[in-house]
Amino acid sequence: MVDLKGQYNGIKDQVDHSVLDVLDSTAYINGPRVHEFQKNLETYLDVKHVIPCANGTDALQIAMMGLGLQPGDEVITADFTFAATVEVIALLRLTPVLVDVDPVNFNIDIDAIKRAITPKTKAIVPVHLFGLCANMEAIMELADAHDLFVIEDNAQGIGASYTYSNGKKVKSGTIGHVASTSFFPSKNLGCYGDGGAIFTNDDDLAHTIRGIVNHGMYVRYHHDVVGVNSRLDSIQAAILDIKLKHLDTYNNKRRESARKYNDHFNNHDNIVTPTGCNSCNALSDSCNCHVFHQYTIKVINVNRDALATHLNENGIPCGVYYPIPLHLQKAYVDDRYIESDFVVTNQLIKEVISLPMHTELDDEQINFITSTVINFVNNNS
Ligand SMILES: *Cc1c(COP(=O)(O)O)cnc(C)c1O
């Protein structure tokens, strides 16, 4: 699904040099490399504060702690996503409220959010799923109207742009009150271990969060709030700082591969391919709305699992993200959920399949993957 080795080979000299420098410096934790990466990411995103931390799940949890959310507060998020999002809500004894998603772009459905808002609702967590921003303009309007916080889960969307209806363009993760991201190796900006970060334009919130990541300390050995220990180490920061310089090139390569996939599938009756945002509805580098953390198609009237088996038998990796809706996961079942509220998610889990997507895909691979998919679909639909 990813080719981390091929990507590493392209930047090996820089990375090796940078890592050896850290080893030599012995500044393994909170060293200057962490600060440099933080500053460079702030500039890249055009956001006032980046607070590095240990992973993307921590980043979500710390963002919610920083906002002061309290047990019983309701937090609305998507039913169709990775479990980390709902996990931290539950861990903090907040009340997760899962809602359905949009059938075309797979992101949280705005009308479903509207229906789920109650007097107890305190926050919305849109996930920029597979690398395309959720409808942030509508979400921020709703949040303003109901006095809610918005926490962007940007683990899959780093580097993506979001275009407002007035044409204004910003980077994903800089729109809500706070955002989280993950530097897990297979993410679009991945390190060689675990890592994550929180972004915000709010000075006070940034200050609060900087203490939370460090045991609630604002002055050494004075613990003002309950915190956690969540750090990005210097070796990972040194690697990330090099990869950040390549992020736009990497994301452009992903988008180029997505365009090629789409061209091969060429509006096949049984294959629904991904599109861009409402502003461009295409996968253009100039819009940069989709950074293709995953390239995910829907197969219609085809046995998706049989297709997955067939691809694996032909040496093609593939993935089903995600096979089970969160509202049906044992840890998160809740009497309040009714199946008719999850029509889209319940359908998507049967139809989606993600194909290899990374920075090193070549035409031969894409030709082989798409012809194998198309042959199977033609013979089995
Ligand atoms: C990967 C991911 C996370 C968690 O990140 P980790 O660094 O693995 O903790 C959270 N949310 C989404 C949507 C993700 O894809």
d(CA 125, ligand 1 centre) in Å: 13
Cα separation, 21 vs 15, whole angstroms:
10
Q: Whose CA is nearest to atom 3 of ligand 1?
A: 56
Ligand 1: nearest atom to the Cα of 184 = 7
Q: What is residue 372's predicted lDDT score, i.e. its pLDDT?
A: 98
Q: What is the DSSP string of 91-158?
A: HTT-EEEEE-B-TTT-SBPHHHHHHH--TTEEEEE-B-GGGB---HHHHHHHHHHHT-EEEEE-TTTT
Ligand 1: nearest atom to the Cα of 182 = 7
Q: What is residue 1's predicted lDDT score, i.e. its pLDDT?
A: 86
Q: What is residue 334's predicted lDDT score, i.e. its pLDDT?
A: 95
Ligand 1: nearest atom to the Cα of 293 = 15
84 lines ligand 1 (CB under 6 A): yes
Q: Whose CA is nearest to atom 7 of ligand 1?
A: 56
Cα separation, 160 vs 198, whole angstroms:
16
Domain with CATH 3.40.640.10 in the chain: 4-244
Among 81, 183, 184, 232, which is best to mutate for testing ligand 1, by the most ligand atoms less than 8 A from CB?
A: 184
Among 2, 57, 85, 107, which is best to mutate for testing ligand 1, by the most ligand atoms less than 8 A from CB?
A: 57
CATH architecture of 248-379: Alpha-Beta Complex (3.90)
153 lines ligand 1 (CB under 6 A): yes
Q: What is residue 234's predicted lDDT score, i.e. its pLDDT?
A: 97
208 lines ligand 1 (CB under 6 A): no
Q: What is residue 291's predicted lDDT score, i.e. its pLDDT?
A: 98
Fold of 4-244: Aspartate Aminotransferase; domain 2 (3.40.640)
Q: What is residue 280's predicted lDDT score, i.e. its pLDDT?
A: 86
Q: What is the pTM of this model?
A: 0.97
d(CA 221, ligand 1 centre) in Å: 31
182 lines ligand 1 (CB under 6 A): yes
Question: Mean pLDDT of successive 10-residue segments in the chain (381 residues)?
Answer: 92 96 94 97 98 98 98 98 97 98 97 98 98 98 98 98 96 98 98 98 98 96 96 97 98 97 95 92 91 98 98 97 97 95 98 96 97 97 87
pLDDT tens figures, 95-109: 999 999 999 999 999
Instruction: Give the C-alpha distances (Å, rounded to integers) separating 244 from 15, 258, 312, 367.
Output: 12, 21, 32, 30
Ligand 1: nearest atom to the Cα of 60 = 10
Cα separation, 208 vs 93, whole angstroms:
20
Q: Are 51 and 75 in contact (CB under 8 A)?
A: no
Residues whose CB falls within 8 Å of the CB of residue 336, separated by 6 or more in sequence, listed in order: none
Domain with CATH 3.90.1150.10 in the chain: 248-379
Short-list 278, 244, 273, 277, CA closest to 259 = 273
Give the helix/strand (H/E) hosting 295.
Answer: strand 295-299
d(CA 381, ligand 1 centre) in Å: 34
Q: What is residue 230's predicted lDDT score, i.e. its pLDDT?
A: 98
Q: What is residue 204's predicted lDDT score, i.e. its pLDDT?
A: 98
pLDDT tens figures, 253-283: 999 999 999 999 998 999 999 999 988 888 9
85 lines ligand 1 (CB under 6 A): yes
